[in-house]
Amino acid sequence: MITSQKGTRDLLPPETRVWNRVEAVAREVFALYGFDEIRTPVFEATELFVRSVGEGTDIVHKEMYTFTDRGGRSVTLRPENTAGVARAFVEHRLAQAGGVHRLYYVGPQFRYERPQKGRYREFRQIGAEVLGDPTPLIDAEVIVMLFDFLGRLGFSALSVSLNSVGTEEERPAFIQALRAWVSSKEDLLDDDDRRRLEENPLRILDSKNPKLCEWLGDPSLPRMIDHLSKESLEHHEQLLRLLDAGRIPYRIEPRLVRGLDYYTRTVFEVTAQGLGAQDALLGGGRYDKLVSDLGGPKTPGIGFAIGEDRLVEVLPEAFRGAAIGSVRPVAVIPVGAPDAADALALASVLRRAGLAVDLASGHRGLGNSLKGAEKAGARFAVLVGENERLRGAVLVKEMATRTQSEVPREQLVEWLRPRL
Ligand code: HAM
Protein backbone atom coordinates (compact mmCIF):
# COMPACT_ATOMS: atom_id res chain seq x y z
CA MET A 1 0.00 0.00 0.00
CA ILE A 2 1.31 3.44 -0.86
CA THR A 3 0.55 5.84 1.98
CA SER A 4 0.70 9.61 2.28
CA GLN A 5 4.09 11.16 3.03
CA LYS A 6 5.22 11.81 6.59
CA GLY A 7 3.92 15.16 7.79
CA THR A 8 1.22 15.37 5.11
CA ARG A 9 -2.40 14.35 5.49
CA ASP A 10 -5.60 13.86 3.60
CA LEU A 11 -8.48 16.05 4.70
CA LEU A 12 -11.60 13.97 4.37
CA PRO A 13 -15.32 14.72 4.54
CA PRO A 14 -17.06 15.75 6.70
CA GLU A 15 -13.98 17.55 8.12
CA THR A 16 -13.52 19.35 4.78
CA ARG A 17 -16.88 21.05 5.41
CA VAL A 18 -15.32 22.69 8.45
CA TRP A 19 -12.31 23.86 6.43
CA ASN A 20 -14.53 25.23 3.68
CA ARG A 21 -16.68 27.10 6.16
CA VAL A 22 -13.63 28.60 7.90
CA GLU A 23 -12.26 29.76 4.55
CA ALA A 24 -15.64 31.15 3.50
CA VAL A 25 -15.83 33.22 6.70
CA ALA A 26 -12.25 34.47 6.12
CA ARG A 27 -13.17 35.57 2.60
CA GLU A 28 -16.35 37.28 3.83
CA VAL A 29 -14.62 39.15 6.63
CA PHE A 30 -11.51 40.13 4.64
CA ALA A 31 -13.73 41.49 1.86
CA LEU A 32 -15.42 43.76 4.41
CA TYR A 33 -12.00 45.27 5.08
CA GLY A 34 -11.27 45.82 1.39
CA PHE A 35 -8.97 42.83 0.81
CA ASP A 36 -8.72 40.98 -2.51
CA GLU A 37 -7.32 37.52 -3.08
CA ILE A 38 -3.87 36.89 -4.52
CA ARG A 39 -2.68 33.43 -5.60
CA THR A 40 1.04 32.95 -5.98
CA PRO A 41 2.88 29.82 -7.15
CA VAL A 42 3.54 26.97 -4.74
CA PHE A 43 7.22 26.93 -5.71
CA GLU A 44 9.56 29.86 -6.18
CA ALA A 45 13.26 30.49 -6.81
CA THR A 46 15.15 29.36 -3.69
CA GLU A 47 16.91 32.71 -3.59
CA LEU A 48 13.61 34.48 -2.85
CA PHE A 49 13.32 32.81 0.56
CA VAL A 50 17.02 33.07 1.33
CA ARG A 51 16.85 36.82 0.75
CA SER A 52 13.53 37.51 2.47
CA VAL A 53 13.01 35.00 5.27
CA GLY A 54 16.76 35.10 5.91
CA GLU A 55 19.73 32.76 5.74
CA GLY A 56 20.16 32.43 9.49
CA THR A 57 16.55 31.42 10.20
CA ASP A 58 15.48 27.87 11.02
CA ILE A 59 13.18 27.92 8.00
CA VAL A 60 15.95 28.57 5.49
CA HIS A 61 18.65 26.77 7.43
CA LYS A 62 16.91 23.42 7.83
CA GLU A 63 13.24 23.37 6.86
CA MET A 64 12.99 24.11 3.15
CA TYR A 65 11.96 21.62 0.50
CA THR A 66 14.59 22.62 -2.04
CA PHE A 67 15.46 20.77 -5.22
CA THR A 68 17.07 21.31 -8.58
CA ASP A 69 14.54 21.06 -11.38
CA ARG A 70 15.22 19.44 -14.73
CA GLY A 71 16.40 22.76 -16.09
CA GLY A 72 19.07 23.04 -13.38
CA ARG A 73 17.32 25.79 -11.38
CA SER A 74 17.18 25.67 -7.60
CA VAL A 75 13.52 25.90 -6.61
CA THR A 76 11.81 25.67 -3.22
CA LEU A 77 8.28 24.76 -2.17
CA ARG A 78 7.10 27.90 -0.42
CA PRO A 79 7.59 27.70 3.36
CA GLU A 80 5.44 30.83 3.75
CA ASN A 81 3.59 33.25 1.50
CA THR A 82 4.73 36.78 2.36
CA ALA A 83 7.86 36.49 0.21
CA GLY A 84 5.80 35.34 -2.79
CA VAL A 85 3.35 38.21 -2.36
CA ALA A 86 6.20 40.74 -2.15
CA ARG A 87 7.86 39.19 -5.23
CA ALA A 88 4.60 39.41 -7.18
CA PHE A 89 4.11 43.00 -6.01
CA VAL A 90 7.52 43.92 -7.42
CA GLU A 91 7.25 41.79 -10.57
CA HIS A 92 3.89 43.25 -11.60
CA ARG A 93 4.88 46.79 -10.59
CA LEU A 94 1.80 47.12 -8.43
CA ALA A 95 3.34 50.11 -6.67
CA GLN A 96 2.92 52.13 -9.87
CA ALA A 97 -0.82 52.15 -9.40
CA GLY A 98 -0.21 53.96 -6.09
CA GLY A 99 -2.43 53.64 -3.08
CA VAL A 100 -2.61 50.86 -0.56
CA HIS A 101 -2.80 47.22 -1.63
CA ARG A 102 -4.74 44.82 0.57
CA LEU A 103 -4.24 41.20 -0.39
CA TYR A 104 -5.12 37.87 1.18
CA TYR A 105 -4.30 34.24 0.39
CA VAL A 106 -5.34 30.76 1.40
CA GLY A 107 -3.08 27.86 0.55
CA PRO A 108 -0.55 25.15 1.37
CA GLN A 109 2.95 25.86 2.66
CA PHE A 110 5.80 23.40 3.18
CA ARG A 111 8.38 23.06 5.93
CA TYR A 112 10.55 20.07 6.64
CA GLU A 113 9.86 19.98 10.38
CA ARG A 114 9.52 17.09 12.81
CA PRO A 115 5.80 16.30 12.57
CA GLN A 116 3.72 16.36 15.74
CA LYS A 117 0.32 17.61 16.82
CA GLY A 118 -0.31 20.93 15.06
CA ARG A 119 2.93 20.71 13.12
CA TYR A 120 2.98 19.26 9.64
CA ARG A 121 5.29 19.30 6.66
CA GLU A 122 2.45 20.38 4.42
CA PHE A 123 0.19 22.82 6.24
CA ARG A 124 -2.19 25.55 5.17
CA GLN A 125 -2.19 29.22 5.92
CA ILE A 126 -4.83 31.90 5.68
CA GLY A 127 -2.92 35.15 5.45
CA ALA A 128 -3.26 38.81 4.60
CA GLU A 129 -0.77 41.49 3.58
CA VAL A 130 -1.11 45.26 3.26
CA LEU A 131 1.44 47.02 1.07
CA GLY A 132 1.95 50.77 0.94
CA ASP A 133 0.82 52.04 4.35
CA PRO A 134 3.41 52.95 7.03
CA THR A 135 0.99 54.08 9.76
CA PRO A 136 0.17 52.36 13.05
CA LEU A 137 -3.50 52.72 12.10
CA ILE A 138 -3.11 49.96 9.52
CA ASP A 139 -1.27 47.77 12.07
CA ALA A 140 -4.27 48.19 14.35
CA GLU A 141 -6.79 47.63 11.57
CA VAL A 142 -5.12 44.37 10.53
CA ILE A 143 -5.28 43.13 14.14
CA VAL A 144 -8.90 44.28 14.49
CA MET A 145 -9.73 42.34 11.31
CA LEU A 146 -8.07 39.26 12.76
CA PHE A 147 -10.13 39.47 15.92
CA ASP A 148 -13.27 40.09 13.89
CA PHE A 149 -12.54 36.89 11.94
CA LEU A 150 -11.67 34.84 15.04
CA GLY A 151 -14.75 36.20 16.81
CA ARG A 152 -17.01 35.02 14.00
CA LEU A 153 -15.57 31.54 14.41
CA GLY A 154 -16.63 31.71 18.06
CA PHE A 155 -13.27 32.38 19.77
CA SER A 156 -13.69 34.69 22.72
CA ALA A 157 -10.75 34.54 25.12
CA LEU A 158 -7.82 35.23 22.81
CA SER A 159 -5.27 37.98 23.24
CA VAL A 160 -2.47 39.15 20.98
CA SER A 161 1.19 39.21 22.07
CA LEU A 162 2.98 42.27 20.75
CA ASN A 163 6.47 43.62 20.47
CA SER A 164 8.48 46.01 18.34
CA VAL A 165 11.70 44.72 16.79
CA GLY A 166 12.68 48.22 15.64
CA THR A 167 14.40 49.03 12.37
CA GLU A 168 17.68 47.84 10.89
CA GLU A 169 19.35 50.98 12.18
CA GLU A 170 18.07 50.49 15.72
CA ARG A 171 18.90 46.84 16.08
CA PRO A 172 22.74 46.79 16.29
CA ALA A 173 22.80 48.48 19.71
CA PHE A 174 20.25 46.01 21.03
CA ILE A 175 22.14 43.07 19.52
CA GLN A 176 25.31 44.27 21.17
CA ALA A 177 23.59 44.43 24.56
CA LEU A 178 22.05 41.01 23.96
CA ARG A 179 25.39 39.49 22.97
CA ALA A 180 27.02 40.85 26.10
CA TRP A 181 24.22 39.44 28.25
CA VAL A 182 24.35 36.04 26.56
CA SER A 183 28.14 35.88 26.88
CA SER A 184 27.69 36.02 30.63
CA LYS A 185 25.70 32.76 30.28
CA GLU A 186 28.24 31.15 27.96
CA ASP A 187 28.32 27.83 29.84
CA LEU A 188 24.55 27.35 29.39
CA LEU A 189 24.57 27.60 25.59
CA ASP A 190 24.12 24.56 23.36
CA ASP A 191 25.37 24.22 19.77
CA ASP A 192 22.15 25.59 18.32
CA ASP A 193 22.35 28.67 20.60
CA ARG A 194 25.96 29.26 19.53
CA ARG A 195 25.02 29.06 15.87
CA ARG A 196 22.13 31.47 16.43
CA LEU A 197 24.35 33.86 18.33
CA GLU A 198 26.85 33.79 15.51
CA GLU A 199 24.49 34.02 12.54
CA ASN A 200 21.43 35.76 13.85
CA PRO A 201 21.63 36.84 17.50
CA LEU A 202 17.95 37.83 17.87
CA ARG A 203 17.07 34.17 17.33
CA ILE A 204 18.66 33.41 20.68
CA LEU A 205 15.45 34.75 22.24
CA ASP A 206 13.63 31.83 20.55
CA SER A 207 16.08 29.29 22.02
CA LYS A 208 14.55 25.91 22.82
CA ASN A 209 17.40 25.04 25.20
CA PRO A 210 15.73 24.62 28.63
CA LYS A 211 18.78 25.75 30.60
CA LEU A 212 18.97 29.05 28.72
CA CYS A 213 15.18 29.46 28.61
CA GLU A 214 15.07 29.69 32.39
CA TRP A 215 17.31 32.71 32.17
CA LEU A 216 15.49 34.36 29.28
CA GLY A 217 12.74 35.32 31.73
CA ASP A 218 15.23 37.24 33.86
CA PRO A 219 14.54 40.97 34.20
CA SER A 220 18.18 41.72 33.36
CA LEU A 221 17.60 40.51 29.77
CA PRO A 222 17.98 43.53 27.43
CA ARG A 223 14.74 44.64 25.74
CA MET A 224 14.40 45.88 22.18
CA ILE A 225 11.83 48.37 23.32
CA ASP A 226 14.58 50.23 25.26
CA HIS A 227 16.60 50.62 22.06
CA LEU A 228 13.92 52.04 19.78
CA SER A 229 14.25 55.42 18.08
CA LYS A 230 11.73 58.12 18.96
CA GLU A 231 9.76 57.38 15.76
CA SER A 232 9.62 53.63 16.33
CA LEU A 233 8.59 54.08 19.95
CA GLU A 234 5.87 56.52 18.88
CA HIS A 235 4.65 53.99 16.27
CA HIS A 236 4.50 51.30 18.95
CA GLU A 237 2.72 53.46 21.50
CA GLN A 238 0.25 54.78 18.97
CA LEU A 239 -0.60 51.17 18.04
CA LEU A 240 -1.25 50.36 21.70
CA ARG A 241 -3.57 53.36 21.99
CA LEU A 242 -5.47 52.25 18.89
CA LEU A 243 -5.81 48.68 20.19
CA ASP A 244 -7.11 50.05 23.49
CA ALA A 245 -9.68 52.07 21.56
CA GLY A 246 -10.60 48.98 19.52
CA ARG A 247 -10.92 46.91 22.73
CA ILE A 248 -8.39 44.37 21.52
CA PRO A 249 -6.83 42.44 24.42
CA TYR A 250 -3.03 42.48 24.06
CA ARG A 251 0.07 41.67 26.03
CA ILE A 252 3.48 43.24 25.51
CA GLU A 253 5.96 40.42 25.01
CA PRO A 254 9.52 41.83 25.03
CA ARG A 255 11.01 38.52 23.87
CA LEU A 256 8.79 38.12 20.84
CA VAL A 257 11.03 38.34 17.76
CA ARG A 258 9.36 35.84 15.39
CA GLY A 259 11.29 33.36 13.26
CA LEU A 260 11.65 35.39 10.07
CA ASP A 261 14.19 38.09 9.29
CA TYR A 262 12.10 40.56 7.32
CA TYR A 263 10.29 42.12 10.26
CA THR A 264 10.64 45.77 11.26
CA ARG A 265 8.84 47.45 14.17
CA THR A 266 5.51 45.73 14.97
CA VAL A 267 5.48 41.95 15.45
CA PHE A 268 2.63 39.94 16.94
CA GLU A 269 1.38 36.44 17.64
CA VAL A 270 -1.78 34.86 18.93
CA THR A 271 -1.43 31.64 20.86
CA ALA A 272 -4.19 29.21 21.77
CA GLN A 273 -4.53 26.56 24.42
CA GLY A 274 -4.98 23.00 23.30
CA LEU A 275 -2.17 23.11 20.76
CA GLY A 276 0.49 21.82 23.14
CA ALA A 277 4.01 23.01 22.44
CA GLN A 278 2.87 24.31 19.05
CA ASP A 279 0.67 26.96 20.52
CA ALA A 280 1.10 29.76 17.95
CA LEU A 281 -2.16 30.01 16.10
CA LEU A 282 -0.93 32.84 13.94
CA GLY A 283 1.89 35.29 13.57
CA GLY A 284 2.57 38.50 11.74
CA GLY A 285 4.22 41.84 11.65
CA ARG A 286 5.50 44.79 9.72
CA TYR A 287 8.16 44.47 7.02
CA ASP A 288 9.03 47.92 5.72
CA LYS A 289 12.18 46.89 3.82
CA LEU A 290 11.15 43.62 2.21
CA VAL A 291 9.82 45.05 -1.05
CA SER A 292 12.87 47.29 -1.59
CA ASP A 293 15.20 44.42 -0.62
CA LEU A 294 13.61 42.44 -3.45
CA GLY A 295 14.34 45.22 -5.93
CA GLY A 296 11.05 47.11 -5.73
CA PRO A 297 10.35 50.72 -4.72
CA LYS A 298 10.43 51.56 -1.02
CA THR A 299 7.09 50.19 0.18
CA PRO A 300 6.06 49.48 3.76
CA GLY A 301 4.18 46.26 4.46
CA ILE A 302 2.36 44.49 7.24
CA GLY A 303 0.51 41.20 7.44
CA PHE A 304 -0.17 37.96 9.23
CA ALA A 305 -0.64 34.28 8.53
CA ILE A 306 -2.92 31.95 10.46
CA GLY A 307 -2.01 28.27 10.64
CA GLU A 308 -5.27 26.84 9.34
CA ASP A 309 -4.50 23.31 10.56
CA ARG A 310 -4.04 24.64 14.09
CA LEU A 311 -7.07 26.89 13.80
CA VAL A 312 -9.30 23.96 12.85
CA GLU A 313 -7.80 21.91 15.68
CA VAL A 314 -8.96 24.36 18.36
CA LEU A 315 -12.11 25.61 16.64
CA PRO A 316 -15.06 26.20 19.00
CA GLU A 317 -17.42 23.21 18.94
CA ALA A 318 -20.48 25.26 17.96
CA PHE A 319 -18.86 26.43 14.73
CA ARG A 320 -17.59 22.95 13.91
CA GLY A 321 -20.99 21.39 14.61
CA ALA A 322 -22.83 23.92 12.45
CA ALA A 323 -20.38 23.39 9.58
CA ILE A 324 -20.62 19.60 9.73
CA GLY A 325 -24.35 19.57 10.37
CA SER A 326 -25.22 21.11 7.04
CA VAL A 327 -26.42 17.80 5.57
CA ARG A 328 -28.47 17.19 2.48
CA PRO A 329 -31.96 17.07 3.99
CA VAL A 330 -33.84 15.43 1.11
CA ALA A 331 -33.29 11.97 -0.36
CA VAL A 332 -34.93 11.04 -3.66
CA ILE A 333 -35.34 7.29 -4.05
CA PRO A 334 -36.58 5.42 -7.14
CA VAL A 335 -38.89 2.63 -6.01
CA GLY A 336 -37.90 0.30 -8.84
CA ALA A 337 -35.33 0.26 -11.64
CA PRO A 338 -37.79 1.69 -14.24
CA ASP A 339 -38.25 4.78 -12.00
CA ALA A 340 -34.58 5.86 -12.28
CA ALA A 341 -35.02 8.43 -15.07
CA ASP A 342 -38.01 9.97 -13.32
CA ALA A 343 -36.09 10.17 -10.01
CA LEU A 344 -33.16 11.88 -11.75
CA ALA A 345 -35.52 14.45 -13.29
CA LEU A 346 -37.29 15.10 -9.98
CA ALA A 347 -33.95 15.55 -8.15
CA SER A 348 -33.05 18.17 -10.76
CA VAL A 349 -36.29 20.05 -10.11
CA LEU A 350 -35.54 20.17 -6.38
CA ARG A 351 -31.90 21.17 -6.89
CA ARG A 352 -32.87 23.96 -9.27
CA ALA A 353 -35.07 25.25 -6.46
CA GLY A 354 -31.98 25.31 -4.22
CA LEU A 355 -32.61 22.17 -2.17
CA ALA A 356 -29.64 19.85 -1.56
CA VAL A 357 -30.61 16.33 -2.55
CA ASP A 358 -29.13 12.86 -2.20
CA LEU A 359 -30.26 10.76 -5.12
CA ALA A 360 -30.29 7.09 -4.14
CA SER A 361 -29.51 4.69 -6.96
CA GLY A 362 -32.15 2.30 -5.70
CA HIS A 363 -30.13 -0.75 -6.65
CA ARG A 364 -30.00 -2.00 -3.07
CA GLY A 365 -33.77 -2.08 -2.80
CA LEU A 366 -36.20 0.37 -1.26
CA GLY A 367 -35.69 -0.71 2.37
CA ASN A 368 -31.91 -0.31 2.23
CA SER A 369 -32.16 3.00 0.40
CA LEU A 370 -34.43 4.33 3.15
CA LYS A 371 -31.99 3.14 5.82
CA GLY A 372 -29.13 4.78 3.91
CA ALA A 373 -31.05 8.06 3.72
CA GLU A 374 -31.70 7.99 7.46
CA LYS A 375 -28.05 7.31 8.20
CA ALA A 376 -26.96 10.19 5.97
CA GLY A 377 -29.18 12.52 8.01
CA ALA A 378 -31.96 13.09 5.45
CA ARG A 379 -35.15 14.48 6.96
CA PHE A 380 -37.42 13.56 4.08
CA ALA A 381 -37.34 10.74 1.58
CA VAL A 382 -39.17 11.31 -1.69
CA LEU A 383 -40.22 7.96 -3.15
CA VAL A 384 -40.62 7.99 -6.90
CA GLY A 385 -42.82 5.07 -8.05
CA GLU A 386 -45.19 4.18 -10.78
CA ASN A 387 -48.50 4.28 -8.84
CA GLU A 388 -48.02 7.86 -7.71
CA ARG A 389 -46.61 8.88 -11.09
CA LEU A 390 -49.89 7.94 -12.71
CA ARG A 391 -51.57 10.41 -10.34
CA GLY A 392 -48.92 13.13 -10.94
CA ALA A 393 -47.68 12.77 -7.37
CA VAL A 394 -44.85 11.37 -5.18
CA LEU A 395 -44.81 9.76 -1.76
CA VAL A 396 -42.91 11.78 0.88
CA LYS A 397 -41.78 10.06 4.03
CA GLU A 398 -40.75 12.09 7.06
CA MET A 399 -37.90 10.15 8.59
CA ALA A 400 -38.33 11.26 12.21
CA THR A 401 -42.09 10.56 12.48
CA ARG A 402 -42.26 7.85 9.83
CA THR A 403 -45.40 9.52 8.48
CA GLN A 404 -46.13 9.39 4.75
CA SER A 405 -47.92 11.92 2.58
CA GLU A 406 -48.80 11.86 -1.05
CA VAL A 407 -47.79 15.24 -2.50
CA PRO A 408 -48.64 16.51 -6.00
CA ARG A 409 -45.39 16.93 -7.95
CA GLU A 410 -45.92 20.55 -8.84
CA GLN A 411 -46.37 21.39 -5.16
CA LEU A 412 -43.39 19.39 -3.86
CA VAL A 413 -40.95 22.31 -3.52
CA GLU A 414 -43.50 24.47 -1.68
CA TRP A 415 -44.46 21.51 0.49
CA LEU A 416 -40.85 20.71 1.50
CA ARG A 417 -39.43 24.20 1.95
CA PRO A 418 -41.23 25.27 5.13
CA ARG A 419 -40.63 21.86 6.69
CA LEU A 420 -36.82 21.89 6.28
P1 HAM B 1 4.99 31.97 10.73
O2 HAM B 1 4.94 32.36 12.17
O3 HAM B 1 6.21 31.27 10.26
O4 HAM B 1 4.77 33.31 9.91
O5 HAM B 1 3.73 31.09 10.39
C6 HAM B 1 2.42 31.54 10.68
C7 HAM B 1 1.60 30.43 11.26
O8 HAM B 1 1.62 29.28 10.41
C9 HAM B 1 2.09 29.89 12.61
O10 HAM B 1 1.65 30.70 13.67
C11 HAM B 1 1.45 28.52 12.64
O12 HAM B 1 0.10 28.60 13.10
C13 HAM B 1 1.45 28.11 11.19
N14 HAM B 1 2.53 27.13 10.95
C15 HAM B 1 3.84 27.39 10.77
N16 HAM B 1 4.52 26.24 10.59
C17 HAM B 1 3.60 25.24 10.67
C18 HAM B 1 3.67 23.81 10.57
N19 HAM B 1 4.81 23.18 10.31
N20 HAM B 1 2.52 23.10 10.71
C21 HAM B 1 1.35 23.73 10.94
N22 HAM B 1 1.24 25.06 11.04
C23 HAM B 1 2.34 25.82 10.91
C24 HAM B 1 4.69 33.39 8.55
O25 HAM B 1 4.60 32.43 7.84
C26 HAM B 1 4.65 34.81 8.03
N27 HAM B 1 4.61 34.75 6.55
C28 HAM B 1 3.45 35.54 8.58
C29 HAM B 1 3.37 36.94 8.07
C30 HAM B 1 2.58 37.39 7.08
N31 HAM B 1 4.09 37.96 8.49
C32 HAM B 1 3.77 39.06 7.80
N33 HAM B 1 2.86 38.71 6.92
What pLDDT, on the 0 to 100 scale, is given for residue 326? 63
Span 273-332, pLDDT tens digits: 888 777 899 999 999 999 999 999 999 999 999 999 999 999 999 999 999 986 678 999
Q: Is 113 in the pocket of ligand 1 (CB under 6 A)?
A: yes
The angle that helices 136-152 and 15-32 make with each other, rounded to 10 degrees, is 140
Give the strands of the sheet with 43-45, arranged side by side.
43-45, 74-77, 65-68
Contact 327, 154 (CB under 8 A): no
Span 223-256, pLDDT tens digits: 999 999 999 999 999 999 999 999 999 999 999 9
Rounded Cα distance, 297 and 90, in Å: 8
Span 159-215, pLDDT tens digits: 999 999 999 999 999 999 999 998 888 888 898 888 888 888 888 888 888 888 888
Question: Alpha carbon 39 to chain centroid distance?
Answer: 14
Span 25-38, pLDDT tens digits: 999 999 999 999 99
Q: Which of 53, 77, 123 should be mutated for ligand 1, with most atoms under 8 A from CB? A: 123
What pLDDT, on the 0 to 100 scale, is given for residue 192? 85
Kindly give the number of the ligand 1 atom that is closest to the alpha carbon of 79: 25
Percent of the chain past pLDDT 90, that is, above it, reads 83
CA of 269 to the centre of ligand 1 (A): 10
Q: Whose CA is nearest to atom 11 of ligand 1?
A: 307
Cα distances (Å, whole numbers) of residue 307 to 81, 122, 131, 254, 284: 12, 11, 21, 23, 11
Cα distances (Å, whole numbers) of residue 391 to 12, 74, 153, 395: 43, 70, 49, 11
In this structure, the number of other CB atoms found within 10 A of the CB of residue 50 comes to 17
Give the strands of the sheet with 266-271, arranged side by side.
36-37, 101-110, 122-131, 301-307, 280-286, 266-271, 160-164, 250-252
More confident position, 46 or 272:
46
What pLDDT, on the 0 to 100 scale, is given for residue 213? 87
The angle that helices 136-152 and 230-245 make with each other, rounded to 10 degrees, is 30
Span 364-420, pLDDT tens digits: 889 999 999 998 889 999 999 999 999 999 999 999 999 999 999 999 999 999 998
User: Is 78's pLDDT higher than 80?
Assistant: yes
Span 102-142, pLDDT tens digits: 999 999 999 999 999 999 999 999 999 999 999 999 999 99
CA angle 75, 81, 84 (to 5 degrees): 60
Q: Is 282 in the pocket of ligand 1 (CB under 6 A)?
A: yes
Q: What is the overall mean pLDDT for the chain?
A: 94
Q: Which of 5, 22, 310, 315 should be mutated for ligand 1, with most atoms under 8 A from CB? A: 310
Rounded Cα distance, 420 and 418, in Å: 6
